[in-house]
Amino acid sequence: MNFKHRIKSLERKTQIGKEYKPAVLFEDDFPNPDELQEKSEELNKKGFMVYIVKFLDALKRVNIKRKEAR
């Protein structure tokens, strides 16, 4: 399953319940893990379900992990 399909799948899930708000963060968009963590925590506090996408190789295989609320 490619990353575009997985993101579309997440978008479809959001249409089921309006209380579910996803936020997709791409690891490559952040210069270091600390900034990614800060943004993730900020969005989580605002009620978003945070998913972090990490590209594994040039073929664009992805690893999507959900951040659990603390």
pLDDT band at 23, cuts 50/70/90? Answer: confident
Which three-class secondary structure state does DSSP give residue 9? helix
Is the model more confident about 38 or about 49?
A: 38
| CB neighbour list of residue 6: distance below 8 Å, 6 or more residues apart | 62, 64
pTM reported for the whole predicted model: 0.56
Q: How many whole angstroms separate alpha carbon 11 and alpha carbon 8?
A: 5
Region 40-50 average pLDDT: 88
E-assigned strands of 13-56?
21-26, 48-55
Q: Which domain holds residue 10?
A: 3-66
Domain count, the chain: 1
- Asked if 53 and 24 count as a contact pair (C-beta separation under 8 A), the reply is yes
